[in-house]
Amino acid sequence: MKKTLVLSTLAALLATGFAQAAEKLTVAATAVPHAEILELLKPQLAKEGVDLQVKVFTDYVQPNLQVDQKNIDANYFQTKPYLDNFNKGKGTNLVIVAGVHIEPFGAYSRKYKLLKDLPNGATIAIPNEGSNSGRALLLLQKSGLLKLKDAKNALSTPKDIIENPKKLKFKELDAAMLARVLDQVDLALINTNYALEAKLNPLKDSLALEDRSSPYVNYLVARPDNKDSTAIKKLAAALTSQQVKTFIEGKYAGAVVPAF
């Protein structure tokens, strides 16, 4: 009886020890699809000793600032052009850990079914941040609506437009606001995560959409001091697993594309 009691106590202590040994990893993400993908991985990471905590943000600035200030361990929401521009502008040194997926950027309208139907002087809403503004303008250029001074510059702004035959007017807004102003503008260029949150289907609802060869991969990002930590390495491996690939392909049906 004593032997059984001792063994039971030992087993309980070991179980408690293993539970306490789980390493907490806090990751910032936008709601769709990033947080949804991270939530999928919680059970598997728990088995590997990682207690994944997901913090959802509605903007693109705080997730980076919180990681830089060491309030959060990592984030998953951004492309390399955005990260490079952020690091340069804010003096941060955040680094890429792993590429996970691509969200083809799209143009949406409540008023028109085709881009050719846009009237002269139409109001176009685009993101107000450098890399996403450039991305929007590059898509409009590819669609034949305008021409940029540098046809490949991912940081182009409306000031770089050299041909604008329809005399389109540009309204630069925070990316999170674009889906909300669709009724107030003729066309809005919207990041897919915000489009999905607004219940827009990029494949069915967009008037123009980047193709699958888009270079705008969404990355897991961390700091130089923790990018090689065991917990972040385990998360990176999980994010680039067959489980995630199958989930993305099944749930988002082409609106989000695996990048691995």
Question: Are both 41 and 89 inside the same structural domain?
Answer: yes
Question: What is the spatial distance between Cα 256 and Cα 33, in angstroms, rounded to a whole number?
Answer: 8
Q: Is 99 helix (H, G, I), strand (E, B) or coil?
A: strand
**Helices and strands in the chain: count of H runs, count of E runs:** 9, 13
The residue range of the domain holding 184 is: 106-209
The number of distinct structural domains making up the chain is: 2
Question: What is the spatial distance between Cα 94 and Cα 63, in angstroms, rounded to a whole number?
Answer: 11
Instruction: Compute the mean pLDDT over every residue in the chain, rounded to the nearest whole number.
Output: 93
Question: What is the spatial distance between Cα 65 and Cα 101, in angstroms, rounded to a whole number?
Answer: 22
Total length of the chain: 260
Question: Cis (ω within 30 of 0) for the bond into 33?
Answer: yes
CATH assignment of the domain containing 166: 3.40.190.10
Question: Are both 249 and 200 inside the same structural domain?
Answer: no
Sorting pLDDT into bands at 50, 70 and 90, what band is 5? very low
DSSP state of 44: H
Which of residues 176, 191, 209 is at a domain's end?
Answer: 209
pLDDT digits (tens, 9 = 90+) for 32-52: 999 999 999 999 999 999 999
Question: Are both 155 and 76 inside the same structural domain?
Answer: no
Question: Are both 40 and 134 inside the same structural domain?
Answer: no
Beta strands at 50-57 and 23-30: parallel, antiparallel or unpaired = parallel
Given a cut of 90, whether residue 21 has pLDDT beyond it is no
What is the value of pTM for the model shown?
Answer: 0.82
Question: Are both 159 and 195 inside the same structural domain?
Answer: yes
CB 218 within 8 A of CB 105: no
Segments of 48-105 assigned E as strands:
50-57, 74-78, 95-102
